């Protein structure tokens, strides 16, 4: 094979221009750290260049499971450890999930690729007290502050992905039945309950902030607006969360996706049924939701360690 995995300046492929969009997906939808984003983009780029230069694929839709297996075998021939190959597998899997969700390919060949046991990483979760501190840290004396508080309350109160929150419309909120209509991955709709606290902040936002943020220049139909009256985007939501975390002095890396993790974990810690949490999160496979049962066991073990006299 002519491709050199260690090349300082790897050749371009017809689909490496998707990597910038992939980085945005990891940052704003998955809540990945900058270190993880850099590693995943690097590994995905190596794979994409490989399937173009060594396998001869011209489009992402042409790639298949065999291409991934061939690439992983090539890495093994180069002497990369099993753990290093697992990191490549994880990056490739995330890339195909992104590509499928954003219409860059019609299938996900990684569905047939086994995941090494150590590939899974437990997400960071705040305690209930830390979440309350985060929410209450937002000053609400301005329209922007009221909006930011409403955004945080909805993220945590409904467990939404950041893209789902940005796409909410005013008529998606059913106030009397306390239900939110959410458009998830693949344009699939689901109904998610919403608590009274989050509803109260939405009502305050619509009454006191929305009219002041709305601009005649833009015909925004979404619920949450930017400072210029446009649809709130993922980067803006990320900054809202970052600013709140800094004000609350939590001392940890917090992203919009962290609030989704907290939503699920706190429900399960309180005894919620796993299937119900799966429905609210919009997970197609319950195995994706089961990671939160692992977090729950860690929580129970920590409680036992702290309070049992015979630990």
Average pLDDT value for the chain: 85
pLDDT at 258 over 80: yes
Whether 181 is a known active-site residue: answer: no
Looking at the chain, the number of H-run helices and the number of E-run strands are: 14, 3
Q: Mean pLDDT throughout 85-97?
A: 93
- Sign of the alpha-carbon torsion through 81, 82, 84, 88: positive
Coil, strand or helix: which one is 137?
coil
User: Residue 75 region, left (φ>0) first, then alpha (ψ -120 to 50), else beta?
Assistant: alpha
Catalytic hit among 185, 190, 204, 230: 185
Residues pairing with 183 in the sheet: 189
Distance in angstroms (rounded) separating the CA atoms of residues 135 and 151: 10
Termini Cα distance of the chain? 56
Assigned architecture for domain 16-119? Orthogonal Bundle (1.10)
Instruction: Determine the pLDDT at residue 185.
Output: 75
pLDDT at 289 over 80: no
Provide the pairing of β-strand 173-174 with 179-183. antiparallel
Instruction: Please confirm, yes or no, whether 188 is among the known catalytic residues.
Output: no
> Which pLDDT does position 80 carry in this prediction?
82
Q: Which residues, in sequence order, are bridge partners of residue 225?
A: 231
Least confident span in 31-40, 54-63, 66-75? 54-63
Residues carrying CATH 1.10.150.130, the chain: 16-119
User: Considering 178, 190, 204, 283, which one is annotated as catalytic?
Assistant: 283
Catalytic site includes residue 257: yes
Cα–Cα distances in angstroms (integers) from residue 8 to residues 5, 46, 74, 162, in the given order? 9, 11, 18, 35
Q: Which pLDDT value is given to residue 6?
A: 46
Interval 165-173 mean pLDDT: 94
Give the sheet arrangement for strand 189-193, strand by strand: 173-174, 179-183, 189-193
In the structure, what pLDDT confidence band is assigned to residue 111 with cuts at 50, 70 and 90?
Answer: confident
Residue 185 designated active-site: yes
Q: Which two tokens stand for residue 32?
A: 């990945």
Q: What's the mean pLDDT in 127-136?
A: 95
Catalytic site residue from 257, 266, 275, 308: 257
How many CB atoms are closer than 10 A to CB 153? Answer: 22
Residue 260 designated active-site? yes
Split at pLDDT 50, 70, 90, the class of 7 is very low
Active-site hit among 87, 260, 261, 266: 260
CATH superfamily of 128-305: Intergrase catalytic core (1.10.443.10)
Average pLDDT over residues 82-88: 88
- What are the start and end residues of each CATH 1.10.443.10 domain in the chain? 128-305
Q: Which of 57, 161, 234, 266 is catalytic?
A: 161
């Amino acid at each position: 094979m002519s491709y050199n995995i260690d090349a300082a300046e790897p050749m371009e492929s017809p689909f490496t221009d998707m990597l910038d969009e992939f980085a945005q997906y990891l940052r704003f939808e998955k809540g990945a750290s900058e270190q993880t984003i850099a590693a995943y983009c690097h590994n995905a780029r190596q794979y994409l260049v490989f399937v173009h230069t060594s396998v001869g694929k011209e489009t992402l839709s042409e790639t298949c499971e065999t291409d991934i297996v061939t690439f992983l075998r090539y890495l093994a021939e180069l002497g990369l450890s099993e753990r290093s190959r697992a990191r490549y597998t994880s990056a490739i899997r995330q890339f195909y999930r992104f590509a499928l969700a954003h219409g860059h390919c019609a299938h996900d060949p990684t569905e047939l690729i086994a995941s090494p046991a150590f590939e899974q990483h437990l997400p960071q979760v705040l305690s209930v007290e830390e979440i309350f501190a985060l929410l209450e840290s937002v000053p609400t004396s301005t329209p922007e502050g009221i909006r930011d508080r409403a955004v945080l309350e909805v993220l945590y109160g409904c467990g939404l992905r950041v893209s789902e929150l940005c796409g909410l419309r005013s008529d998606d909120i059913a106030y009397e039945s306390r239900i939110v209509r959410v458009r998830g991955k693949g344009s699939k709709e689901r109904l998610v309950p919403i608590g009274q606290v989050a509803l109260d902040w939405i009502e305050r936002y619509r009454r006191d902030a929305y009219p002041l943020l709305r601009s005649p220049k833009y015909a925004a139909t979404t619920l949450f607006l930017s400072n210029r009256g446009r649809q709130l985007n993922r980067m803006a939501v990320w900054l809202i969360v970052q600013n709140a975390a800094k004000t609350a002095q939590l001392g940890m890396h917090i992203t919009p996706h962290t609030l989704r993790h907290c939503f699920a974990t706190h429900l399960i810690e309180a005894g919620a049924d796993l299937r119900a949490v799966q429905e609210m999160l919009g997970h197609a496979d319950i195995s994706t939701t089961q990671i939160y049962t692992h977090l729950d066991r860690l929580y129970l073990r920590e409680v036992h360690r702290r309070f049992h006299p015979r630990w």
